[in-house]
Amino acid sequence: MNKIKDFSPLEDKLEIKFENRDLLTQSFIHRSYLNENPNFYLGHNERLEFLGDAVLELVVTEDLYKKYPDKPEGELTNWRAALVNAKMLSFVAKEIGFNEFLILSQGEKKETGKARQFILADAIEAFIGALYLDQGYNTCQKFIKEYIMKKLPHIIEAGLYKDAKSSFQEKAQEKASITPNYKVIKETGPDHQKHFSIGVFLDKELIAEGKGSSKQEAEEDAAKNALKTKGWK
């Protein structure tokens, strides 16, 4: 089977050499590519993404816990969320140059907006999953610290961790002594192009709904709408 991408430039840039080249390749395969090439010898990257998401969260959590012993859990949670959300991960992936290595369908190659943002974010998580299987925790830790954790000072300085979900939770706990909960109200579209409608509730009361192409995006939209509904700035 001929290679569909030469990942050597990326490995050289990251100073990482994969022993299992198929793991590296698979981490960049979007589901849409297999729709057009169903007999391709590798699967898509979603299982690797599932693994990488957990590794990423553990590394970031451990690093925050050790570096900031005096910070409360709530603040560390907000910082972590700002570091591992799709917007930040896609930004990091673009910086590294992941865009040119994505393995996509012809149709998906033309999509360069928000859909590409989520594909890039998923790819960096899948890459971390592949790296974990190939070289273990310590190599993943080094990669995450070098390319993702270094964004934390800017996040703190610019207040990027103060997302709508965090703000709504703070206000709800302050004013109503209730922690908001989010529920999927509607889910449409094929697996590679899902759209979600999510409601945010205080106890059993629906406060607002939000929409997005990921659950995270829809929850954030719901929280923004809930802040407006309640008049909480």
Q: Which residue has the higher pLDDT, 24 or 77?
A: 24
Q: Which fold has domain 164-230?
A: Double Stranded RNA Binding Domain (3.30.160)
Q: To the nearest whole number, what is the mean pLDDT of the chain?
A: 92
Residue 194, pLDDT above cutoff 90: no
Can you tell me the mean pLDDT for 9-34? 96
| Tokens read off for 143 | 């990669």
Active site residue 146: no
128 versus 114: the higher-pLDDT residue is 128
Per-range mean pLDDT, top range of 49-63, 75-89, 97-111, 219-233: 49-63
Helix, strand, coil percent values for the chain (each to nearest 5): 65, 10, 25
According to the model, what pLDDT value does residue 3 have? 56
The pLDDT-based confidence of 1 (bands split at 50, 70, 90) is very low
Q: Is 6 considered catalytic here?
A: no
Give dist(CA 207, CA 185) in Å, integer: 13
Contact yes or no for 63/57 (Cβ under 8 A)? no
Residue 105 CA to chain centroid, in angstroms? Answer: 21
Q: Mean of the pLDDT values across residues 202-221?
A: 93
Pick the CATH number of 8-158 from 1.10.10.60, 2.120.10.80, 1.10.1520.10, 3.40.50.720: 1.10.1520.10
Q: What is the pLDDT of residues 142-193, one digit of tens each?
A: 999 999 999 999 998 877 787 788 889 989 999 999 999 999 999 998 877 8
- CATH topology match: 8-158 vs 164-230: no
- pTM, rounded to two decimals: 0.73
Domain ranges of the chain: 8-158, 164-230
The mean pLDDT of 9-24, rounded to a whole number, is 96
Residue 111: what pLDDT? 79
Tell me the pLDDT tens digit for each residue of 37-60. 999 999 999 999 999 999 999 999
Residue pair 133/51 in contact (Cβ under 8 Å)? The answer is yes
Of 49, 53, 163, 217, which residue is the catalytic one? 53
47-51, 82-86, 123-127, 147-151: which range is least confident on average? 82-86
Burial status of residue 27 (CB atoms within 10 A of its CB: 0-12, 13-18, 19 or more): buried
The mean per-residue pLDDT over the stretch 213-221 comes to: 90
Using a pLDDT cut of 70, give the percent of the chain over it: 98
Active-site residue, from 63, 122, 125, 221: 125
